[in-house]
Amino acid sequence: MAGSSHGHGHTPAAWTGSIIIFIGFCVSGAFMVMDNPLGFWGGLAIVALGGVIGAIMSAMGLGQPKAKPLKMVQSATTATAAPKATREPVAAES
């Protein structure tokens, strides 16, 4: 894998946003069953609000820290060294 997933999503911003979005889906689903379009769209507004609150909390520093890009460094010995000889594949013995 390219990076470690340790701690992925285990932040106050992620938990808060996810809980608010889950509540919005529950509200929207309940009003859909009750055949109430206004309540359905209100639930979807709660879903959008959860995403906005999660993003605001992440911007406040309560989310995952930003990953710093890796620098590729080429050492002086490998830059001037001759390429290694390639090896021929060996047949497997039975």
Tally the C-alpha atoms within 13 A of residue 21's C-alpha that lie toward its C-beta.
Answer: 13
Q: What is the pLDDT of residues 52-79, one digit of tens each?
A: 999 999 999 888 887 777 777 776 565 5
Identify the pLDDT of residue 91: 73
Look up the pTM and report it: 0.64
Q: How far apart, in whole angstroms, are the C-alpha atoms of residue 43 and residue 52?
A: 14
What tokens appear for 66 in the block?
Answer: 């930003």
Angle (CA) 5-47-22 rounded to 5° is: 60
The domain ranges of the chain are: 18-62
Provide the 8-state DSSP code for 29: H
